[in-house]
Structure formats: structure tokens, C-alpha cells
Amino acid sequence: MSCNIILFITVLLFFYLHTQSFITRVYLGGINNATLFFLCFVVCWHHRAQCGKGEKLAGAGALVCVLASLIPSLLMSVRPEPALFQVSMTITQNLGCYFVLGALLSLFLFDQIEWHYRRSVRDELTGLYNRRYFNEQLDRLLVRGSGKGCLALFDIDHFKKVNDTFGHDAGDLAVQRVAREIQESLPSGALVARYGGEEFVCFLPESDEPLARHFLEHIRQKVSDLAVETPRGSVSVTTSIGLCQVLPGTPVAQAFKCADDALYQAKRAGRNTLVSSVTVSG
């Protein structure tokens, strides 16, 4: 911006001293302003979020300013009257200001809406989705999607002992680390959430039992290798996992019961293990 100001003033002074042409200076000013607003549009569009309505409105405001900044120059080329130029400049500058302010307010408001939405669907401690959002999305996937995949429940073993021995801060760190391992180890299309205090859940759409078992066994091993450093010492945890393959038409409650039964069997088998339950169908 500083370079543009210096260059623009230098060019204007040059034309003022050598040509004394008012219309030429008007053209230069219009082209310069239009270029700057167009660059603002490019930046807004390039850095927009996937659902960034605010960024799109800011870009639209910049495009309006591009057109508005060219109007005085176009009028001067048709009727080179200073009074007409002054009127057109006043109108277009006000118009541009209104659109810029409106775009900035829209960007702020949409960012606020997005921020509150993220807080409503995300778990504060881990950043994963929360239970309510997961249930809604799972119901949508089972009812409106293909309706098949694998549902898995995770439970950190003996978590109460971790809290009692190392403190709740250490327990929070352990939950965060386990959440990170789960999220980073699953494929991009998986839906992951923190389901309770030390419980997590994931759904792998279109996955069969062998493929899901491959991912989940990898997670189980990575969690068992964790060493969470705390002021009271190193915390090691393990996780039990219940896996259930879901067929089209399976109700959400039935899918959860199947995965929960498998998790219960994993705990009875000695924990730090993965148990796959019988495939459920509608």
C-alpha cells in the first residue's frame, strides 16, 4: 500500500508538471483505485473459507467499488465538465464506502456466527465434535446416505485411577492426547466425536469390518505407546474398543447398542483390546 501511494503521487506529479491535463489525472486516479479494489477482491476470494459467506460478500463489495471508481472517469470521457466530475465523485465515493462498510460488517457477523456454531458442535477440551452433533450426523448418514459403515466406541481404561493418582489436569492431558491419536489415525471421511468423559466414538462410512479393524488396531497400539508427561510423572493409558459393522436400514440406537456390547466384551476380555460385534441390520 505504501509503495502504491508513493508511485501514484509520483506519477500524478509527473503528469501535472508535463501535461497539465486534468482528464488524464482523472483517468489515472480511476484506474489506480479500480486496480486496488480489484486486488482486494482477489485476496478475499483467494482466502475465502469453504462456506465463507462473509469473505464472498467482502469480495462482492470490492467488485462494486471497482465499478464505482471507474464511473467518474467514464463520465469525464463523455462530458468533460468539472461539476459533473465532482458530483459523480461524491456519489461513487459514498456508494463505495457503503458497500465496503457493509462487506466488513458482514464479514464480522458471519465470523461471529461461525464462531458460535463451532462452539455449539465442538468439544471444548479436545476440539472433536460433541455427542449431539455426532448423533445428528450419524442419523443423517444412516437415513439419507448409503446407510452402511462401521461404528466404533472407545473407552480409556481405568481412567478414574489416572485422575485419582495424577490429578484431573493430567487426566485432561491424557484425554487430549488420545483424541489427537484417534483423529490423526482415521481416514479423512471418518466422523469422530468425544462421546463422554473418557469415551470417544467414530463412524467410518462405506467401510467394512476388516478395513475398520485395521485403522482401529493401529489406534489401539498408538494409544498404548503413549506417555503423557505431567508434573506428577508420566501417564500411560490404554483403550478398549468396540466395533460394529452397520448395514443399511440400521436404526441409530441399535447401532450404538451393538458397538456398546462389543466394548463391554472388550473390557471383560482384559481391556486394551478390540472386539468386533456381529453385524447389525435393519
In a domain, 282, yes or no: no
114 and 161 co-located in one domain: no
In a domain, 90, yes or no: yes
139 and 269 co-located in one domain: yes
In a domain, 181, yes or no: yes
Domain span at 149 = 131-276
63 and 148 co-located in one domain: no
Q: What type of residue is 120?
A: S
200 and 76 co-located in one domain: no
234 and 259 co-located in one domain: yes
Clarify whether 198 is annotated catalytic.
yes
In a domain, 125, yes or no: no
The last residue of one of the domains, among 84, 101, 120, is: 120
Question: What's the Cα-to-Cα distance from 39 to each of 66, 91, 137, rounded to whole Å?
Answer: 10, 22, 39
The last residue of one of the domains, among 120, 152, 183, is: 120
172 and 249 co-located in one domain: yes
C-alpha cell at 275: 472386539
Number of structural domains (the chain) is: 2
Residue 280 has pLDDT above 50, yes or no: no
84 and 187 co-located in one domain: no
d(CA 71, CA 88): 7
pLDDT value at residue 42: 72
- pLDDT band of 6, cuts 50, 70, 90: low
Residue 125 has pLDDT above 60, yes or no: yes
At residue 204, φ and ψ (nearest 5 deg) are: -110, 100
Among 72-81, 102-111, 143-152, name the most confident range.
143-152
Q: What is the CATH number of the domain that holds 210?
A: 3.30.70.270
Residue 219 has pLDDT above 70, yes or no: yes
In a domain, 281, yes or no: no
pLDDT value at residue 264: 94
Task: Round the average pLDDT of the chain to a whole number and report it.
Answer: 79
Note whether 202 and 129 are within 8 A (CB): no
109 and 161 co-located in one domain: no
Q: What is the mean pLDDT of residues 222-240?
A: 89
48 and 107 co-located in one domain: yes
What is the pairing mode between strands 199-205 and 191-194? Answer: antiparallel
Q: What type of residue is 147?
A: G
Kindly state the DSSP code that residue 206 receives in the 8-state scheme. Answer: T
In a domain, 46, yes or no: yes
**Choosing from 81, 198, 199, 209, which is the catalytic residue?**
198
pLDDT value at residue 150: 93
106 and 178 co-located in one domain: no
Q: What is the mean pLDDT of residues 158-184?
A: 92
Q: How far is CA 208 from the centre of its chain?
A: 28
Note whether 126 and 179 are within 8 A (CB): yes
Q: What is the mean pLDDT of residues 67-85?
A: 70
- pLDDT band of 215, cuts 50, 70, 90: very high
d(CA 115, CA 262): 37
The pLDDT tens digits of the residues spanning 24-75 come to 666 666 666 676 677 776 776 666 665 566 666 667 777 777 777 777 777 7
Among 34-43, 118-127, 251-260, name the most confident range.
251-260
In a domain, 269, yes or no: yes
> For residues 8 and 109, which has the higher predicted lDDT (pLDDT)?
109
The last residue of one of the domains, among 73, 97, 120, is: 120
76 and 142 co-located in one domain: no
18 and 37 co-located in one domain: yes
In a domain, 26, yes or no: yes
d(CA 122, CA 264): 27
pLDDT value at residue 2: 59
